[in-house]
Structure 1
């Protein structure tokens, strides 16, 4: 695949950003000189011969659109590509001005009487873009699923899902389209929805041209190569990592009073300032941590709502230094609201601004009923907004979110608390961005923010043409390594990797379309393209690993391998026995203060050991406690399945790392160290003594702790094995325990008799063998990846899914789509198989419309509620039928070799809002529903809107198979839920 690469130099122009510039900030400081540039690259399909003619627009040709400002180099380059009728991918930072390229593509299409499609990932962004484009060009329509305006317009703004659906249905619009703009195309890496972008791009008309707008991605060239290959046309890449407004990055340490500049405008990391910031950290007290209930790292944020909170001090400092407007990012909806309430005594607006806010607010709210105007979310928000403080998250009423966006754009909100979603798409920059946490919960664990996430959110800082620099502030409440901070603040953007996966809806639609087939979709997917691309690098890795492995010569290798395997078996059995004996079920009754406990040394876990004995030491048990999981529904777990930690008095070596952070390591009793009480996971326990020592309750004095450990040492010197508790006395009745003990005894005999056991340098030889085994395992793993890459991706899964469809009657043995399949083709916003089975079983026909929509709410509700209202008896019966259907379908998939966890699939249908949706369909007021549910208003509205989307798909499905009775029922259901505040029109329309 050919490639042309060109870098922009600096061009002289009186006001162009293409030259070196010196700007002064508001406080008179001189900003660094910076050459602004971009890289222009082109991907050609195989066999394509590029033209040698100029890529510049002829001077006598008038541009399709002229702009009232000098274009940046990347904008000019991209527009030249459009003028030459060739596709382009524009990769640039948030707020860099990518929309200029989209505007030009639309203007050019309208000038040439061509149809142009603009797609975006979210409805809110589509609404905003419709408003923006409508002001610029009159011939603009909108299609989002919620709203359709002028669907015959030459320029259509829509969500990517709508565009995918139009392509599958063979819409006339698809055949007419000349240009397709994919905004926020980096969304293609989204785990759930990313596949929609791949389908849409692969299926796009071959004579169409593309504009891809993306945040900075390091593999933009790879993406363009794929587009060029699939559509057999050149695809240009115009890439710039230039920020029109340079950024400064600061740390605000918990409990501190000042800011520490850690990355300057030049991108230089200031390690001395970073260490000063961490040294200024005031550790969060234990009592504050307990208030947090272990749900998230909010140490520096929680506490009394007063002027002493860190967030109040920081916002006050930002306002005093005129760093506003500021966006404060938080990773939870409730935390956003909690932090905003800490600003209760702060007033950032004058009387005129307050008056303007009130006028704008009530003008927007006038479309609501009097009852809805009294909703707590509405009435509580206005006083906050009047003081110049706002909140923005997905749990807000959509109309409230939009009015807050408008107020922020008008400069009437000086301080906005928002979740991560505010960083996507919406063009609303601020002078300052604050991160309230440097860690986030990703569904499994707390982790550091990735550099890609940081780049996306920090991109909101700095308003072009207004601010000389943008400011990013991280609130830090724990120590972090400089390498971690550098990776976060200066790391690369996330790569654009495929999130392609098969779905039954995709498969059925591919089989139904005459000019499509599933194998072709898989062959042309970005996933397959990336897998093919990776093979040469994988081959190099295999070669290097094999050379290292084969260079290792080990004496008596076969005998050593046998001995090595015995060690692994022995350790595995010991762990199995330990897991049974010291499981909470058996050992909790013996967790008494004063009991000697043998615990594994931490180093034993980190490096391989080839002794059959554990590296362990002794301590005295003081107390134990349950470790609460970060997962919200942890309370539902059984006590015997929970995790526990022990508070143990033992000998510890205390040191400090390079950052001054205290490091505590458990050491053997005879080694130097301090007597400390440390928390040890129950999984580290290797033995519990049957004895108990008389230990004083007050262990605060050092002398008391030393005396306690002296008693322990004397006990261990007298009883070397610590007089362990006899498992028989613990009443362990497990058969697996008895079997493991017998196998362990047999292995011990083999160890004693093994020929190599007394060989010299046995430990070193085993370490070498262990390394060789690791290399062999790596080679095996990489070769497996290569084998799966050389065959068609998902080939086995495709066969398995077809077996499921045949078994359930969706397709014939010749892959012809049957009635059930036609219904499932129409359902893309819910689980297509389960919903189709319910429809054909008569469940949806036999119930009232209100009960039906209540049941369908289980398909669209994804949040997990701890104390959701239990559905009434008749609804619970319906939910049981849904679960039975889902379990039957999951088992059928399992039998057909589709990888699926049956119980996880069944539990994905949640009854949490069945009562709320039933009440809404029965005509209850929205405020009445909010009194019976804990759900955020915006979350419920989003669910009901998605429910209406599912019903519209079911109407089409019923129509496609001539089921007029069901079609009427679905239409009746739509009429019952589509009303009032839930479907209030967008302010952008």
Structure 2
């Protein structure tokens, strides 16, 4: 077992729902298979270590009560099984194919929460899906609210639909909802593996209230059990896995070879790969013309897009055949926005709708577009789309106007669009299946290179094929234009879904929010992350380290080891008692009256030989002179629960220090003995760093700013001390001078005296090599401690991932003044805490450098556009001179931030970081903030309308975060400026309301 007594319970799921009881069943591989191919499923459950499983009789107690929601259709076994888990008030992960009906489980969880007067949160990965789900749930239950960042509707509702980012933010801010929520539903939880945003899911799950229960809805993932094991471990509660590979509508997979005229069935509805048919398909592939080398992208440059007038393109032939065979509606997936539109334009001769449908489409289209201004209705994207839609052909990608995308979704759901060209984002979200899915390409560009589709991507998109209750089978067609190895095809068509692997990574916003939060602890977040959980399963390396260290330890031989060990242990006891005594003497109530300016203190300092083992009979000390002391934490002096009390105070002292660079911070300061080389520096030390307090006081000059004044003062300290022998420097007597009458002080003093007598009589006390032997023995003890630590790590699985990066990032935050050395969040840190939609450090630096105060609102909007625009444009308009100067300022700031990170050992490519801020839409956003019409901006900006709208909406999100940031530090002037910026950009088509609301 991976988790001690974590138990696995495989349950054969019986088809108890209405209609299944009379059907013939047979058991196969621990699951129930129904002869009529009804949906069998596997049910597992993960229990936390030490969990006592209730007897089965009580487990079914919840099933007797009236169901929270009745459905008009017979539930599949996986739905019934998941609902039983909900009624037992236990978390469940439902892993099933797209369109299998996972939302039924979410609906029941909401109904159950409302029945029990509990609050429920439904999170989704994207705003558009949140809007759609809000509409869907609002129709079922009235008590539903929505929070997406763009829109807030009824935030006090019992059921709240929101994006995962909003939920994360609410948890960090300690929202009232987090204390009231009983159930949290994470839709599309497989998003957790997303390279950029997946970490948000992990944070949200780890930080979720401990008394909450969870519903996870996921595409099929092979390691669902591992995910449930993790949830059970971190939240100390059972987590069920209800898994089904069943597709309500079986799929047939065909290949359409480029230049050919027919389809070849390569995987039948029973999942069998047909080798002979696959070879026939490849043989039918028309090779590219001699000398015409195909691009690595594998695009259908020749036949797909550039078909001659006399010769039908492959895509036209494909759609024509689909319509003739009545395989429509069809979704044709393409992997670029431009190709999507280009392919749709190939259909200009095709008309798939009758007159009544055309009238219907026009009415729906214009009733949606009525919320746009007359100017916006004339946008080319709007005017060009209607003729296409009326012919039953649609386009769906992220570059479309959001309102246009939504109207196309609604038309597709109503069956008025027969042929939809879409990018893969259409495969995420609302249940919008078709009879047929076509892959216009089997290769995609993933940001770095062109590659074959993964089996997981293929499974996700092909899941849109086959409408439950309408089609006997769904059809998937791959258009192939280059030789495809059988192994590659099998992997794609028959491979397993992608594993749910953690994409956890650290961010400064996360780190600062954790440090600021009352219960926050970055180390705990890391320790409880799914990333850590997966990493801990690879422990063999720790085993090797343990063996190597044991070998090194056993190779160290010390003469008279037993006697040396005894002496070493006495010495450690002595040091411990001396520290205990010092803590009593230096408790604020005793020492504060004596920390007056001018008093000479003995303080701890750095060793002369830092390369030697960290052991010496006496700890090195030096001297300094008190200048001042102050309280650093707002706590009561009588608060006995705080240990040590002295940590609440710092003392400013003048002493000698070695100042140098270590490649991590700009400079390091180490206190050294007064006679050693170094500089006279005023440093703040905690009271616990004081060794002893002398009776000696001296007058210190009022001005110690100059180096000479500080140097002269330290000379006077040395002169004062030189009047006495080292052992005879007059020290404050704890009992006579400081009037300490505590019994614990007297008790510790007596134990120290007894130990000193033992030292004098010890058999190795006068050995000439005793110090050397003690150092070697100390080294052996350190090895033993490391071995012990590794053993503990292996037992408790706490080999913390990201440990070094965490330290490095904390160094960055200290260097830049976001946190103190004690990890207390400063003003800068409070600002960065609020910024989660843009690069927080660079943006905070610009704010504190006064950049936003000195520029016009329009210029500020233009500058902020560089934080939200990520697409690369070849022919972007170069910004005017004043905007270009601002961009240079941004680049300089970004470079400084990146260089500090590099110095602090954070892995970062400085040039890539600086170039991630792009000026491509600075002019467009300047014009928008100035009041220009959207169509005017589009006429001079070479980007998709939807992409620009998304950037402006994200910019508004950043501005809202900056308003919060300015509020948190009392910057009312900046707050007003950010609010004015919001009012200038939040208008017209860019913020047109969703059709789902």
TM-score, normalization: structure 2? Answer: 0.72
Q: 1:181 offset after TM fit, Å?
A: 0.2
CA–CA distance in 2 between the matches of 1:403 and 1:469?
Answer: 28
Structure 2 contact 297–450 (Cα < 8 Å) conserved: no
Structure-2 residue corresponding to 1:47: 50
Q: Does 1:819 align with 2:823?
A: no
Q: 1:158 to 1:59 in 2, by over 3 A?
A: closer
CA–CA distance in 1 between the matches of 2:416 and 2:542?
Answer: 55
**Residues 404-413 or 512-521, more deviating:** 512-521
Q: 1:73 offset after TM fit, Å?
A: 0.4
Q: Does 1:499 align with 2:503?
A: yes
User: What SS class does the counterpart of residue 89 from structure 2 fall into?
Assistant: coil
Structure-1 residue corresponding to 2:41: 38
Matches within 5 A, 1:717-732: none
Q: 1:444 offset after TM fit, Å?
A: 1.6
Q: 1:59 offset after TM fit, Å?
A: 6.0
CA–CA distance in 2 between the matches of 1:931 and 1:81?
Answer: 56
What's the CA shift string for 1:239-281, capped at 9, x where partnerless?
0010000000000000000000000011000000000000000
Q: 1:974 to 1:18 in 2, by over 3 A?
A: farther
User: What SS class does the counterpart of residue 165 from structure 1 fall into?
Assistant: helix
Aligned counterpart in structure 1 of residue 492 of structure 2, from 488, 492, 501: 488
CA–CA distance in 1 between the matches of 2:83 and 2:886?
Answer: 57
Q: Does 1:956 align with 2:977?
A: no
CA–CA distance in 1 between the matches of 2:100 and 2:894?
Answer: 47
Structure-2 residue corresponding to 1:890: 898
CA–CA distance in 2 between the matches of 1:903 and 1:97?
Answer: 47
Aligned counterpart in structure 1 of residue 881 of structure 2, from 873, 884, 888: 873
Structure-2 residue corresponding to 1:301: 304
CA–CA distance in 1 between the matches of 2:873 and 2:17?
Answer: 60
Q: 1:538 to 1:11 in 2, by over 3 A?
A: farther
CA–CA distance in 2 between the matches of 1:300 and 1:17?
Answer: 54
Matches within 5 A, 1:94-173: 94-173=98-177
Q: Does 1:938 align with 2:942?
A: no
Structure 1 contact 18–36 (Cα < 8 Å) conserved: no
CA–CA distance in 2 between the matches of 1:261 and 1:959?
Answer: 63
Q: 1:101 to 1:805 in 2, by over 3 A?
A: same
Query: How many pairs are equivalent?
Result: 738
Q: 1:3 offset after TM fit, Å?
A: 1.6
Aligned counterpart in structure 2 of residue 828 of structure 1, from 823, 827, 836: 836
Q: 1:791 offset after TM fit, Å?
A: 2.7
Matches within 5 A, 1:751-762: none
What's the CA shift string for 1:888-927, capped at 9, x where partnerless?
0000000011010000000000001001111111111111
**Residues 55-64 or 324-333, more deviating:** 55-64
Q: 1:943 to 1:53 in 2, by over 3 A?
A: same
Aligned counterpart in structure 1 of residue 448 of structure 2, from 425, 444, 464: 444
Structure-1 residue corresponding to 2:245: 241
Q: 1:152 to 1:329 in 2, by over 3 A?
A: same
Q: 1:17 to 1:275 in 2, by over 3 A?
A: farther
Structure-2 residue corresponding to 1:390: 394
Q: 1:20 offset after TM fit, Å?
A: 7.3
Q: Does 1:251 align with 2:255?
A: yes
Q: 1:534 offset after TM fit, Å?
A: 2.8
Q: 1:365 offset after TM fit, Å?
A: 0.2
Structure 2 contact 962–975 (Cα < 8 Å) conserved: yes
**Residues 475-484 or 963-972, more deviating:** 475-484
Q: 1:17 offset after TM fit, Å?
A: 11
User: What SS class does the counterpart of residue 962 from structure 1 fall into?
Assistant: coil
User: What SS class does the counterpart of residue 215 from structure 2 fall into?
Assistant: strand
* RMSD value, Cα: 2.3
User: What SS class does the counterpart of residue 844 from structure 1 fall into?
Assistant: coil
Q: 1:975 to 1:884 in 2, by over 3 A?
A: same
Aligned counterpart in structure 2 of residue 2 of structure 1, from 3, 7, 10: 7
**Residues 531-540 or 409-418, more deviating:** 531-540
Q: 1:33 offset after TM fit, Å?
A: 5.2
Q: 1:514 to 1:790 in 2, by over 3 A?
A: closer
What's the CA shift string for 1:817-851, capped at 9, x where partnerless?
00000000000000000000000001111100000
User: What SS class does the counterpart of residue 128 from structure 2 fall into?
Assistant: helix
Q: 1:15 offset after TM fit, Å?
A: 6.8
Q: 1:533 offset after TM fit, Å?
A: 1.6
Structure-2 residue corresponding to 1:314: 318
User: What SS class does the counterpart of residue 536 from structure 2 fall into?
Assistant: helix
Q: 1:475 offset after TM fit, Å?
A: 0.2
Q: Does 1:841 align with 2:849?
A: yes
CA–CA distance in 1 between the matches of 2:536 and 2:20?
Answer: 46
CA–CA distance in 1 between the matches of 2:794 and 2:939?
Answer: 56
Matches within 5 A, 1:641-720: none
Q: 1:318 to 1:481 in 2, by over 3 A?
A: same
Structure 2 contact 23–35 (Cα < 8 Å) conserved: no
Q: Does 1:421 align with 2:425?
A: yes
Structure-2 residue corresponding to 1:354: 358
CA–CA distance in 2 between the matches of 1:321 and 1:426?
Answer: 27
What's the CA shift string for 1:174-225, capped at 9, x where partnerless?
1010000000000000000000000000000000000000000000000000
Q: 1:816 offset after TM fit, Å?
A: 0.3
User: What SS class does the counterpart of residue 434 from structure 1 fall into?
Assistant: strand
- Where in structure 1 are there 5+ consecutive unaligned residues? 22-30, 544-784
Q: 1:955 to 1:907 in 2, by over 3 A?
A: same
CA–CA distance in 2 between the matches of 1:324 and 1:825?
Answer: 50
Q: Does 1:858 align with 2:866?
A: yes
Matches within 5 A, 1:373-388: 373-388=377-392
TM-score, normalization: structure 1? Answer: 0.73
Q: 1:960 offset after TM fit, Å?
A: 0.4
CA–CA distance in 2 between the matches of 1:120 and 1:408?
Answer: 22
Q: 1:485 offset after TM fit, Å?
A: 0.6
CA–CA distance in 2 between the matches of 1:308 and 1:193?
Answer: 42
- Where in structure 2 are there 5+ consecutive unaligned residues? 1-5, 27-33, 548-792
User: What SS class does the counterpart of residue 951 from structure 2 fall into?
Assistant: helix
User: What SS class does the counterpart of residue 66 from structure 2 fall into?
Assistant: coil
What's the CA shift string for 1:910-964, capped at 9, x where partnerless?
0010011111111111110011111000000000000000000000000000000
Q: Does 1:462 align with 2:470?
A: no
Structure 1 contact 89–224 (Cα < 8 Å) conserved: yes
Q: 1:927 to 1:289 in 2, by over 3 A?
A: farther
Q: 1:286 offset after TM fit, Å?
A: 5.5
User: What SS class does the counterpart of residue 3 from structure 1 fall into?
Assistant: coil
Q: 1:296 offset after TM fit, Å?
A: 4.8
Q: 1:425 offset after TM fit, Å?
A: 1.3
Q: Does 1:278 align with 2:282?
A: yes
Q: 1:283 offset after TM fit, Å?
A: 1.4
Q: 1:113 offset after TM fit, Å?
A: 0.8
CA–CA distance in 2 between the matches of 1:137 and 1:294?
Answer: 48
Q: Does 1:916 align with 2:921?
A: no
Q: 1:7 offset after TM fit, Å?
A: 2.3
Structure 1 contact 246–470 (Cα < 8 Å) conserved: yes
CA–CA distance in 2 between the matches of 1:536 and 1:37?
Answer: 38
CA–CA distance in 1 between the matches of 2:229 and 2:411?
Answer: 42
User: What SS class does the counterpart of residue 534 from structure 1 fall into?
Assistant: coil
Q: 1:402 to 1:81 in 2, by over 3 A?
A: same
CA–CA distance in 1 between the matches of 2:847 and 2:870?
Answer: 22
